[in-house]
Amino acid sequence: MASIRTQVGIVGAGPAGLTLAHLLHRRGVESVVVENRSREYVQERVRAGVLEQGTVDLFVATGVGERLQREGLVHRGIELRFAHRGHRIDLDDLTGGKTITIYGQNRVIEDLTNARIAAGGRIFFAAEEVRIGGFDDGGAPVIRFRADGEPVELQCDFIAGCDGFHGVCRPSMPAGSLTAFERQYPFGWLGILAEVAPSMDELIYSRHERGFALHSMRSPQITRLYLQVAPDEEISNWPDERIWEELQRRFETVDGFTLNRGPVIQKGITPMHSFVVEPMQYGKLFLAGDAAHIVPPTGAKGLNLAIADVRVLARAFIEYYRSGARERLERYSEICLRRVWKVQRFSWWMTSMLHRFGDENAFDERRQLAELDYVTSSRAASQSLAENYVGLPMED
């Protein structure tokens, strides 16, 4: 059996795990990443695509923002469409110059992976039977797995559980040490990637009697579109033609708007879910990103929140290795959860403002429209949306 040792053992090579490894490396803290999927799979998976201002600033400041700055699409506003009209939220003006950048999560992963490998960082892809142990206070943390069929034991001082919602770290915590808070939504999103130029140069969040729809993009040649559907909907019920017709209906609330159509290169259905565990740590194990919380995608927050967690975690590890002080590590969960809950609130609010829940009465419907009218006509209300959308400031 191979036995290796590092300071921080990281489970998961998603945005959280790779960013953590990158930030630690820059301050001389060693880590090893253990990922159960292949490098190709992780890099090709179609996921989120909106980066907050603070996420972009972090990547640029730490030397992984070159392609992002070259190819990312900077957006200064978004549109909210409802009751046959479009209303622009001017993010730039409402936040004193902040913007968002459209850049696929798979590119973020590729940039971070390349940077780690160029810096001599170790990432085990396609690791099998990943297990963690020894993370009680006073214990000796270990990540066990198989690489190319051979058992490996990775000893470390701490384990960072960055292995997403279905990972192995959260379920390894002792029963009773965590409390979960969750909410299911009575719908999912059917998402497509189409080989066609976006129909507008900004994102459109459309509230429609038939359900929510979102127009987004990945590049000037690739459009990303979403439709609210039933949570148990089968993708086989949605041939491309039906998807385009439904999308066109939900966006055509504005006169003369025509959605550009092109070959569909990817499609899938995602359920909608809000989830948080408290605390996000136990002994020498720290959860970050989707391993600790899930937000519905309406606020475009999942990836950004994962990055916010690992900023806090990296700082705590760096402080520990520099001075031996554990204070920041002990407060990790408390610091993160303040942001997590504000982001949960925002994501829930955007979701409830824009979707049909199916059990609304006429009062609820009027109230939803009044909310959209208020958000788009009051500067104070638009400013609150904009401040959250570009990303709340990082806390200490």
**Any idea which residues carry the catalytic annotation?**
75, 205, 297, 301, 389
- Name the segment binding ligand PHB (CB under 6 A); options: 44-52, 62-70, 120-128, 371-379: 44-52
Smallest CA-to-CA distance from 78 within 200, 229, 237 is with 200
β-strands 2-5, 150-155: how paired?
A: parallel
50 binds, among ligand APR, ligand PHB, none (CB under 5 to 8 A by kind): ligand PHB
What's the gap between Cα 93 and its chain centre? Answer: 25
- Name the segment binding ligand PHB (CB under 6 A); options: 43-51, 125-133, 168-176, 270-278: 43-51
> Residue count at the site for ligand PHB (CB under 6 A)?
10
Does position 302 interact with ligand APR (CB under 6 A)? The reply is yes
Q: What are phi and psi of 47, to 5 degrees?
A: -135, -145
Rounded-to-10 torsion of CA 357, 202, 372, 271: 20
Among 48, 64, 306, 335, binds ligand PHB (CB under 6 A): 48
Among 25, 76, 224, 328, binds ligand PHB (CB under 6 A): 224
Name residues whose C-beta falls within 8 Å of residue 194's C-beta, 6 or more positions apart in sequence: 222, 223, 224, 225, 261, 262, 263, 264, 265
Does position 159 interact with ligand PHB (CB under 6 A)? The reply is no
Does position 111 interact with ligand APR (CB under 6 A)? The reply is no
Smallest CA-to-CA distance from 294 within 189, 207, 192, 184 is with 184
Does position 351 interact with ligand PHB (CB under 6 A)? The reply is no
DSSP-assigned beta bridge partners for residue 89: 78
DSSP-assigned beta bridge partners for residue 2: 152
Q: Which is nearer to ligand APR, 36 or 199 (CB)?
A: 36
Among 6, 9, 14, 82, binds ligand APR (CB under 6 A): 14
Does position 306 interact with ligand APR (CB under 6 A)? The reply is yes
Q: Is 113 helix (H, G, I), strand (E, B) or coil?
A: helix
Chain residues binding ligand PHB by CB under 6 A are 48-50, 203, 214, 216, 224, 297-298, 300
